[in-house]
């Protein structure tokens, strides 16, 4: 009995001394929990703006403009997220904005894949969907960062051109370089998604 008492006393003292000198459990080595969620929220402010959500609809109908109304002409998802034969995205949407007609354009113009429906989701639900390889095209974090910060269709959001009346479209609420830095910081910190 005395042996057990001494054994557990020494064990407790040993563990307490480890905690005092900054013992780090092996499971957390290399994980940097963010000190704030500022980068995450800045990134999500962009991803929830009409420039992004309009091409991530919860149905198969792309949305248009800052009010996110359904696309004109009965356009819908169609084959490979590019519409149907007579109403393919690329029939009107070219590789650059058409400031004469107000039709926006960028390389690879299309709807996001069906598994990436974001419209109506919370920012945390969107983040979890982006991180899910079954939804995101099997991208790892490095590839996801590249997609979010370098893909031409994503970058179009900061140069959205004008509408049919010649009125400039609203870009996302965060400047491009700040957004890129926020995405990079979020990914470097382990792509932490805060609790709902």
User: Buried b vs exposed e over 72-108: b needs ≥16 C-beta within 10 Å?
Assistant: eeebbbbeebbbeeeebbeebbeeebeeeeebbbbee
In a domain, 4, yes or no: no
In a domain, 19, yes or no: no
- pLDDT for residue 2: 45
Whether the Cβ atoms of residue 151 and residue 157 lie closer than 8 Å to each other: no
How many structural domains is the chain composed of? 1
Using DSSP's 3-state secondary structure scheme, residue 98 falls into strand
> Bigger pLDDT: 21 or 179?
179
In a domain, 70, yes or no: yes
In a domain, 9, yes or no: no
Q: Average pLDDT of the chain?
A: 85
Of the pLDDT bands very low, low, confident and very high (cuts 50, 70, 90), residue 28 is very low
pLDDT digits (tens, 9 = 90+) for 42-86: 999 999 999 999 999 999 999 999 999 999 999 999 888 888 888
- pLDDT for residue 36: 64
In which residue are the tokens 């058409």 written? 98
- pLDDT for residue 18: 40
pLDDT at 26 over 70: no
pLDDT at 139 over 90: yes
pLDDT digits (tens, 9 = 90+) for 77-116: 988 888 888 889 999 999 999 999 999 999 999 999 999 9
- pLDDT for residue 87: 87
Residue-range definition of the domain harbouring residue 116: 36-188
Please give the structure tokens belonging to residue 162: 């004008």
Q: Where are the beta strands (DSSP E) in 46-182?
A: 63-64, 69-70
Whether the Cβ atoms of residue 42 and residue 174 lie closer than 8 Å to each other: yes
pTM, rounded to two decimals: 0.79
User: Residue 70 to residues 75, 87, 92, 131: CA-CA distances in angstroms?
Assistant: 8, 14, 16, 27
In a domain, 10, yes or no: no
In a domain, 184, yes or no: yes
pLDDT at 120 over 80: yes
pLDDT at 149 over 70: yes
Pairing of the two strands 63-64 and 69-70: antiparallel
In a domain, 154, yes or no: yes
In a domain, 22, yes or no: no
């Amino acid at each position: 009995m005395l042996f057990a008492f001494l054994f557990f006393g020494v064990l407790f003292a040993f563990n307490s001394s480890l905690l005092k000198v900054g013992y780090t459990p092996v499971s957390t080595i290399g994980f940097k929990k963010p000190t704030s969620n500022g980068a995450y929220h800045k990134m999500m402010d962009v991803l929830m703006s009409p420039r992004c959500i309009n091409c991530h609809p919860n149905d198969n109908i792309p949305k248009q403009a800052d009010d996110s109304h359904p696309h004109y002409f009965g356009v819908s998802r169609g084959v490979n997220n590019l519409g149907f034969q007579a109403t393919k995205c690329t029939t009107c949407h070219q590789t650059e904005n058409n400031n004469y007609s107000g039709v926006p354009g960028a390389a690879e113009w299309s709807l996001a894949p069906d598994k990436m429906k974001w419209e109506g989701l919370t920012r945390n639900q969107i983040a979890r969907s982006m991180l899910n390889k079954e939804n995101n095209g099997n991208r790892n974090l490095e590839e996801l960062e590249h997609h979010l910060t370098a893909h031409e269709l994503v970058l179009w959001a900061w140069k959205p051109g004008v509408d049919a009346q010649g009125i400039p479209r609203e870009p996302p609420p965060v400047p491009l370089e700040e957004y890129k830095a926020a995405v990079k910081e979020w990914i470097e910190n382990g792509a932490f998604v805060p609790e709902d």
